[in-house]
A and B are shown apart, each in its own frame.
Chain A
Amino acid sequence: MLILECPYCGVKAEETEFHAGGEAHIKRFGPGSSDADFEGYLFNRENPKGVHFERWRHANGCGKWFHVVRCTMTLEVFGSYSAQVSEPPQEIRDAITAKRPGWCWRDFA
């Protein structure tokens, strides 16, 4: 069972209060992009063993979407942050580095 914190209303609750929305920070490709980029964006996923960035919605609360970083091997939550960013903020990266030194994913390292 996961305990998550909504960064908007500050409510800390277990996962049934929220709705999982899948991998976050996916780079969107549209018309004019290569077939491979478009396929990658639509279907392929990182599915990492370790640090995972994802989207959640505070479905039974304020209703807003937000970001969570979590370890898929331990279910440890490193933090949650606003949905209005396309990359994790520095303090979130620092929080991950503190727990997973040398972690690396895409160009976030």
Chain B
Amino acid sequence: MRRYSAWAVAREATRYHEGWERAWRAPEPKKRYDVVIVGAGGHGLATAYYLGKNHGITNVAVIEKGWLGGGNTGRNTTIIRSNYLQDSSAAIYEKARSLYETMSQDLNYNVMFSPRGVIMLAQTEHEVRGYQRTAHANALQGVSTEFISPQRVKELVPIIDISGPRYPVLGGLWQARGGTARHDAVAWGYARACSDMGMDIIQKCEVTGIRQEGGRVTGVGTTKGAIDCGKLGIVVAGHSGHLAEMAGFRLPLESVALQALVSEPIKPCMDVVVMANTVHGYMSQSDKGEMVIGGGTDAFNNYTQRGSFHHIEETVRALIETFPMISRLKMLRQWGGIVDVTGDRSPILSKTPVEGVFINSGWGTGGFKAIPGSGFGFAELMAKGYSPLTAEFGLNRFAEGRFVDESVAAGVAH
């Protein structure tokens, strides 16, 4: 792999940029791999990357039915934070956040990680108490957050109206090293690194069946023919239930649409990420100047990658109350993604009833921030059968009543 650098840019500038090579190969599938990962989103690619980097397993294929990063990874609003309530959540999300800090250097790919700070607004007494509790929990977990006053919120976000009208800002949970990153670049950076390790990323190839013998996985059927594997990782977000059905088990999650939208670009006006969970809206400004807005999920199962319009209306109406200056902005684009939501709003990183089949799912509305930590832990789980990062996120937690309840901290989409 030819490395990207200022020197490489200068070199290519002298020869009409004809020397850049393809970032990843486009191979035909081999007959067999040690590990097959289904789904080339951020989580699938990060898993493959850490299988190679940390565990020396490089005979790996990542199989993707569309194009890599074309699922939720390329559709999300890229908020990165680790201010969760439960210890096991804080551990994996903070691992991920800290890996984001050095991801551009590690991958030699600019993922534009921007630790600009994330505020979660407290707009009811209940939220004030909830976020104070989270701030205390975070202090014990070694996650750096603080509960800030309305005046401090106003200093950080001059365009906010802290006086209401419906929901005055009573404070906020502030994580100074939270922020955003370029979502496509995260997928592309991992894909390039995986391809460089000799892994095959096979796009436009849909997994249509999972083959087993005596309760153990032997391979997958795909639209490009059968592929054998020693181990299988299912990392398909909204399609998790569908893949589980192929393998013959059910999952404690359901697939619903989550939407986002962006405005026309405007001059810089807000340099932090603001989340308003009571009114169900969150907003940041992209480097191009667009206001990036996300809202709530639909309440019904859906695989169409389009959500209901009334959610957009509700989100925008709520945000206009909090940010009056955006009321005249024109919205440019709107889209949806299918997110896999569990009852306790925590992910599932687990062995499954089929030996050799592992599943990484249930990230729901908030898994972009977790990509590197999830890949790190899930690769360890797949390689060694155990990872301290994923131990609490097994499927057995439901039968045993050991929920990792984040429905308060993560009750809104992000």
| Cβ contacts under 8 Å, A42 to chain B | 398
B300 pairs with A44, CB closer than 8 A: no
| Cβ contacts under 8 Å, B304 to chain A | 72-75
B300 pairs with A73, CB closer than 8 A: no
- Pick the residue among A20, A43, A54, A74 that contacts B398 (CB under 8 A): A43
- Pick the residue among B242, B252, B309, B310 that contacts A49 (CB under 8 A): B242
Chain A 9-46 near chain B by CB (<8 Å), digits 1 or 0: 00000011001101100000000000110011011111
In the complex, B250 has a CB within 8 A of chain A: yes
Interface residues on B, range: 20 to 34
- Pick the residue among B242, B302, B303, B399 that contacts A35 (CB under 8 A): B399
| Cβ contacts under 8 Å, A62 to chain B | none
B300 pairs with A49, CB closer than 8 A: no
B302 pairs with A43, CB closer than 8 A: no
B241 pairs with A46, CB closer than 8 A: yes
How far, in Å, is A84 (CB) from chain B's closest CB? 22
A1 pairs with B308, CB closer than 8 A: yes
How far, in Å, is B259 (CB) from chain A's closest CB? 12
| Cβ contacts under 8 Å, B310 to chain A | 1, 15-16
Nearest residue (CB) in A for B255 is A47
| Cβ contacts under 8 Å, A58 to chain B | none
Name which of B253, B254, B298, B309 has the most chain A CB atoms within 10 A of its CB: B254
Query: Complex formed: what's the CA distance from A19 to B298 in Å?
Result: 11
- Pick the residue among A19, A39, A44, A75 that contacts B302 (CB under 8 A): A75
Can you give 27 A-B contacts (C-beta < 8 A)? A1-B308, A1-B310, A2-B300, A15-B310, A20-B298, A22-B254, A23-B254, A39-B398, A39-B399, A43-B252, A43-B343, A43-B398, A44-B250, A44-B252, A45-B241, A45-B252, A45-B253, A46-B250, A47-B241, A47-B242, A47-B251, A47-B254, A49-B239, A49-B242, A49-B303, A72-B255, A75-B304
Chain A residues with CB under 8 Å of chain B are: 1-2, 15-16, 19-20, 22-23, 35-36, 39-40, 42-49, 52, 54, 70, 72-75
